[in-house]
């Protein structure tokens, strides 16, 4: 056995590392799988719900992202940039007017008249004041600072990080920006024509203007497109007059900087390359603190990230996948713990496939035979936890006698086996497996049991009602869970026994354990017990020397029977259906097959039919809730096969 080491949690360990309990994950999927949801839908439900105590699901992450988005919107003041600059200009003009009021002469009066005639809008006022000679030195300094800040704000609003990449907004630096934009437009056009382009050379020349250091042209263009789309959202969110003012202000600054033409070209390219971005999409705002133009566009760009993240986590679009969730955006919005949850969610399917419990075939996720067996084992474990630990599971023989005698042979130990361990053979296996050494470590595969005389074989046919009333009344999942548990019990504890799974609705047919996890359920009419009994008889006849029994689980009386190679259905059931079904059951009983029927509903017609069935076949009929079905059937099966306690 491999030793286990424990260490203090330091926040770096991966709770879904190599020891991820795939069986526990499958257990979380079991309710949906047995309810007919299918493995793909069951997995989506698990991704949405998460696992309590291990990782959050997409629904919990989406709610947290939605809260973050609401906080961002409440803190967003879309009118702030214009209001802030308008207020600053007002203070500058007030300083100038104060100085002029203390100055004598016609020139001072003419200046006052000029200031009084300024256009009311911010772009017009700034245009007129550009060549105005301020009398107040402090006002002149503040105006120059405002124009410098305005240039930085407009550049930052259109190109994220560009103003930080510039050492100063000098004519030489602006000429370099213009050259960069021209080269970038040329790169885009060359790529669109399918021609070669030198992105590495471009970054060597202008990489310092992009603090985020994009690694590819696509990454660079996407970053710039997101920024320009955010600027277009700000414009679209303002009133028509405010839109006009902000647009004129941006055009005036970019025109003065000789950047307007290349900026327009780039914007047109980016809108064509990234049409999925929210170009011109208005955004709601709250009553937060006013911020500068660049900071407001920052907030809108961040808001777009959050909205896209919320859509990806909701997943309500064709082809949605957990892989669509942007890890970096999630980290920026919710932090590193949420990224850990996302990585856990992305690993679930791979862990289940690596464990051999699920497999993708033809693009569809399915439960494997091993997965179906594991579902049964886990259901069986829950039932057996309630059984007495000291109950042995040896078969009783038809003839009374003593305990089984050893044969001298051994066999490998399997899950659920009871009996005497052959110590010598077990230790020998361990030594051969790991080689000679100072100590021997035992592994479950090393254990061998001492064989005893052959036990009596039992053949069981489990008939499951698959008609539409079973899922409609909530019996479907408990019945299928019981069937899987019984299969696991017989395969693990009674390997010489045989179990046939038979499902019946309008017709009866054999099932494999994994069929019980198939998506959907049958929306057909008919409860064809006649065909089910007939099929069970054919299968059990292959075991003439075994103790044979039929276990039937149903919630309704027979409403269909085989007739002329087809299925005849009638509701309420006709006499012929009842008589043919009883005749087939009597034929089974006369061949030595024991009948056990588990009724999940009680109605006058069903009770009357079952009473006749029990009387004519000497069988047993039990009325019970579906919640106790698995516990009762498995306890009864073990008890009837058990020796003395």
294-313 mean pLDDT: 88
The larger pLDDT score, comparing residue 488 to residue 92, is at 92
Q: Give 180-215 as a 3 state SS string.
A: HHHHHHHHHHHHHCCCCCCHHHHHHHHHHHCCCCCC
Q: For residue 554, with 0-12 CB atoms within 10 Å meaning exposed, 13-18 middle and 19 or more buried, which class applies? A: buried
pLDDT tier at 394, thresholds 50, 70, 90: very low
* Residue 16 clears pLDDT 50, i.e. is over it: no
**For position 645, what pLDDT does the model report?**
30
* Residue 631 clears pLDDT 50, i.e. is over it: yes
**For position 407, what pLDDT does the model report?**
62
Q: What is the pLDDT of the chain when averaged over all its residues?
A: 83
CA dihedral 440, 445, 447, 448 (to 10 degrees): -140
Locate all alpha helices (DSSP H) within 8-166, ordered by sequence.
Answer: 22-34, 39-49, 58-74, 80-101, 106-116, 122-129, 137-158, 162-165
Contact in structure between 494 and 59 (CB atoms under 8 Å): no
**For position 469, what pLDDT does the model report?**
83
Distance CA 61, CA 324 (A): 14
* Residue 248 clears pLDDT 50, i.e. is over it: yes
**For position 210, what pLDDT does the model report?**
85
pLDDT tier at 388, thresholds 50, 70, 90: very low
Distance CA 179, CA 259 (A): 9
**For position 627, what pLDDT does the model report?**
80
pLDDT tens digit sequence for 27-40: 888 888 887 778 88
pLDDT tens digit sequence for 168-215: 567 788 888 889 999 999 999 999 999 999 999 999 998 888 888 889
**For position 32, what pLDDT does the model report?**
83
**For position 545, what pLDDT does the model report?**
86
Domain boundaries, the chain: 22-75+309-367, 80-282, 405-452, 458-641
Distance CA 337, CA 617 (A): 63
* Residue 286 clears pLDDT 60, i.e. is over it: yes
Lowest mean pLDDT, pick from 15-19, 25-29, 405-409: 15-19
**For position 200, what pLDDT does the model report?**
92
- The third-level CATH classification (topology) of the domain covering 458-641 is Rossmann fold (3.40.50)
């Amino acid at each position: 056995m491999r030793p286990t080491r424990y260490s203090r949690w330091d926040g770096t360990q991966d709770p879904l590392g190599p020891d991820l309990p795939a069986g526990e994950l499958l257990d979380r999927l079991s309710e949906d799988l047995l309810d007919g949801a299918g493995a793909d839908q069951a997995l989506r439900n698990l991704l949405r719900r998460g696992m309590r105590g291990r990782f959050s699901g997409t629904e919990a992450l989406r709610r947290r992202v939605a809260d973050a988005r609401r906080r961002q919107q409440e803190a967003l003041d879309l009118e702030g940039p214009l209001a802030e600059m308008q207020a600053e200009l007002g203070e500058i003009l007030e300083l100038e007017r104060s100085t002029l009021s203390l100055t004598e002469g016609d020139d001072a009066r003419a200046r006052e008249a000029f200031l009084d005639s300024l256009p009311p809008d911010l772009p017009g006022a700034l245009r007129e004041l550009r060549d105005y000679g301020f009398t107040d030195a402090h006002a002149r300094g503040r105006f120059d600072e405002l124009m410098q800040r305005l240039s930085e704000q407009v550049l930052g609003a259109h190109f994220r990080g560009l103003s930080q990449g510039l050492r100063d907004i000098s004519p030489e630096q602006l000429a370099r920006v213009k050259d960069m934009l021209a080269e970038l437009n040329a790169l885009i056009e060359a790529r669109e024509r399918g021609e070669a382009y030198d992105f590495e050379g471009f970054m060597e020349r202008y990489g310092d203007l992009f603090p985020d250091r994009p690694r590819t042209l696509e990454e660079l263009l996407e970053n710039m497109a997101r920024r320009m789309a955010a600027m277009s959202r700000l414009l679209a969110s303002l009133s028509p007059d405010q839109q006009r003012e902000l647009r004129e202000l941006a055009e005036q600054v970019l025109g003065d900087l000789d950047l307007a033409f290349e900026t327009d070209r780039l914007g047109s390219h980016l809108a064509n390359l990234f049409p999925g971005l929210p170009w011109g999409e208005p955004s709601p705002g709250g009553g937060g603190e006013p911020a500068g133009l660049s900071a407001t566009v920052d907030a809108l760009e961040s808001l777009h990230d959050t909205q896209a993240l919320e859509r990806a986590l909701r997943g309500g679009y064709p082809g949605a996948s957990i892989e669509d969730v942007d890890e970096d955006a999630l980290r920026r919005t919710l932090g590193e713990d949420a990224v850990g949850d996302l990585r856990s969610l992305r690993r679930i399917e791979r862990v289940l496939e690596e464990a051999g419990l699920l497999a993708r075939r033809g693009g569809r996720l399915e439960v494997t035979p091993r997965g179906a067996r594991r579902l049964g084992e886990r259901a069986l474990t829950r039932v057996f936890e309630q059984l007495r630990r000291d109950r042995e599971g040896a078969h009783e023989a038809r003839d009374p006698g003593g305990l089984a005698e050893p044969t001298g042979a051994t066999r490998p130990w399997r899950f659920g086996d009871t009996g005497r361990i052959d110590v010598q053979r077990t230790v020998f296996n361990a030594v051969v497996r790991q080689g000679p050494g100072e100590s021997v470590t035992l592994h479950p595969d090393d254990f061998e049991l001492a064989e005893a005389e052959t036990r009596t074989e039992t053949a069981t046919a489990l008939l499951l009602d698959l008609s539409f009333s079973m899922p409609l009344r909530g019996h479907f999942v408990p019945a299928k869970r019981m069937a899987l548990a019984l299969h696991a019990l017989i395969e693990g504890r009674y390997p010489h026994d045989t179990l046939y799974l038979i499902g019946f609705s309008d017709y009866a047919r054999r099932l494999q354990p994994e069929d019980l996890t198939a998506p959907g359920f049958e929306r057909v009419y008919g409860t064809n017990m006649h065909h089910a009994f007939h099929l069970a008889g054919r299968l059990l006849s292959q075991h003439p020397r075994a103790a044979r029994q039929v276990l039937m689980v149903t919630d309704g009386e027979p409403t269909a029977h085989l007739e002329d190679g087809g299925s005849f259905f009638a509701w309420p059931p006709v006499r012929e259906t009842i008589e043919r079904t009883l005749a087939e059951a009597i034929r089974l009983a006369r061949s030595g097959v024991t009948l056990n029927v588990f009724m999940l509903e009680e109605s006058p017609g069903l009770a009357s039919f079952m009473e006749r069935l029990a009387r004519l076949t000497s069988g047993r009929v039990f009325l019970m809730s579906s919640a106790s079905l698995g516990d009762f059937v498995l306890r009864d099966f073990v008890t009837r096969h058990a020796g003395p306690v």
